[in-house]
Chains A and B, each alone.
Chain A
Amino acid sequence: VTECDAVQASQSEEWDADLTVRVGEDPKPRILVVDDFAIERRIAGRLVEGAGFEPLYAANGEEALRLTEEKQPVAILTDMQMPGMGGLELVEHIRRRHPRIPVIVMTAFGSEQIAIQALRAGASNYVPKRDLARDLPETLRRQLELATADRHRRQLIGCLQGRTAQFELGNDPQLFAPLIDLLLEDLERIQFGDGTARIRMGVALQEALANALYHGNLEVSSELRQEDERHFHELAQLRRHQSPYMERRIRVTAVMDIETARFEITDQGPGFDTSIVDRPIEPEDLLRVGGRGLLLIRTFMDVAWHNPRGSKLTRVKFSAQPAGSGG
């Protein structure tokens, strides 16, 4: 069993069930047909069969939800107006609970407004009932192609073993959150750590970036922050548009694999005496406004934890201040 296989095998149950249907011993992919009229279900079901799928049937939204949980269809084809849970509500439920299952709505003429509502609520396509025979098979095939492409993309992502990324940012703190999101997404794809570990890394990255910006590039002392938070931010804002501060950049290098994530954040400020912060963490550090960032970085990043998929001890090293640089 390769690493890639193991990663795939750990995907969600929904995904596993889906794969079984798609690549198992040749069962046809299932399409759930939802309509309160038996005659409509039969017609749609026949067209579904003709297109190479296995139809499942439900007479209302509630039954459709139950069958979706049990049988994991690859797509749902639904009428809009039904007693009990109607098509619109069904679309909303499926979008929340099974976002990867596309819902195609069948519309009678005069129901265009409801179809638009359904599309806005998350339906992926619609087919007019009068053109069902002409349009449904092709719509199903196209829909399945898209869903398959999405599944293959997820399979590929499941095989991702590592990623290296480099960014060079100006002194704009608005880019920090999206950058961290991006990095955490990659970590999640690699299955690095658990959710909590990743959030703690995000907090540490946020602090590291803020340090690089305010104390590194803009040279605003944390002592100023101790005195008055407002003065700190006013000076920072002013320096963002003044030389030499405004020309400075923050470089972020992330090297991530399943065992180690290393982030290097380099500012272009003059640097500072690392011995000030390179000491054991004291309880009073928690009360200080300035210096809190480094404390969080050291607490959250210099940690050892076990990989959830095995017993391998993983060490996360954080390098906030490469040689000759401050931050």
Chain B
Amino acid sequence: MSVVTADQFEAEVARGIQHHLEEICGDDDGFTLELIAALLETAPVTLNQLKTAIDQGDIVAASRAAHGLKGISQSMGVGCLAAAAAVVETSARLGDRIAAESAASATETLWFRVHPILEQLEESIRMSRNREGEVGP
């Protein structure tokens, strides 16, 4: 049985996002940065909506917010976050508030790990662009 370390996890997630964004954006670093910034902005808002809905016992709103988070995570290639959000969505849809709450908490924890990966990716793209700008015509 193999054990995935934190570093391996981060590397794997970063690879997944990079590969996915390359497919969408090609060489367009500006668009890649725009998408990363959009996810960094949208995901916390959606997570907050999710938490609020669960706190208020609004299982329908919770399911909808989880579905949204699942969608944007999938579209950005953050498979682990999409999978976690899917558990929240399913639990909420089944009306299992306790499971939804627990899954939402796990999703938030996961987001706290994905967030710096996205920031690092953003930073490395910026630096790469700056370097190209220095040597370019």
Judge: A and B partners, yes or no.
Answer: yes
A residues near B (Cβ < 8 Å) are: 35-40, 42-43, 46-47, 50, 79, 81, 83, 108-111, 129-130, 132-134
A131 → B minimal CB distance (Å): 9
- Cβ B90 vs Cβ A110 within 8 A: yes
B residues near A (Cβ < 8 Å) are: 20, 23-26, 31, 34-35, 38-39, 42, 64, 67-68, 70-72, 74-77, 79, 82, 86, 89-90
A-B contact pairs, 14 of them (CB 8 A): A36-B68, A37-B42, A37-B72, A38-B38, A40-B71, A40-B72, A40-B75, A42-B35, A43-B24, A43-B76, A46-B24, A46-B31, A109-B74, A132-B24
B103 → A minimal CB distance (Å): 13
Residues of B within 8 A of A111 (CB): 67
B71, B72, B77: most-surrounded residue (chain A CB, <10 A): B71
Residues of A within 8 A of B75 (CB): 39-40, 43, 129-130, 132
A36 to B46, CA, bound (A): 12
Q: Is the interface of A mostly helix, strand, loop or mixed?
A: helix
- Cβ B64 vs Cβ A81 within 8 A: yes
Given contacts A37-B42, A46-B24, contact A130 B79 (CB under 8 A): yes
A117 → B minimal CB distance (Å): 15
B122 → A minimal CB distance (Å): 14
- Cβ A109 vs Cβ B86 within 8 A: yes
A225 to B72, CA, bound (A): 72
Residues of B within 8 A of A130 (CB): 74-75, 77, 79, 82
Given contacts A38-B42, A46-B24, A130-B79, contact A108 B64 (CB under 8 A): no
Partner of A39, one of B42, B79, B86: B42
A42 to B70, CA, bound (A): 16
How many residue-residue contacts, CB under 8 A, span A and B? 64
Residues of A within 8 A of B77 (CB): 130
**B25 to chain A: closest residue by CB:** A46
**A36 to chain B: closest residue by CB:** B68
A88 → B minimal CB distance (Å): 14
- Cβ B24 vs Cβ A47 within 8 A: yes
- Cβ B25 vs Cβ A108 within 8 A: no
A47 to B23, CA, bound (A): 10
Residues of B within 8 A of A110 (CB): 70, 86, 89-90
- Cβ A43 vs Cβ B74 within 8 A: no
Residues of B within 8 A of A133 (CB): 20, 23-24
Residues of A within 8 A of B20 (CB): 133
Given contacts A37-B71, A81-B64, A129-B75, contact A42 B38 (CB under 8 A): yes
**A130 to chain B: closest residue by CB:** B74
A115 → B minimal CB distance (Å): 13
A79 to B68, CA, bound (A): 10
A35, A36, A37, A111: most-surrounded residue (chain B CB, <10 A): A37
A133 → B minimal CB distance (Å): 4
Residues of B within 8 A of A43 (CB): 24, 35, 75-76
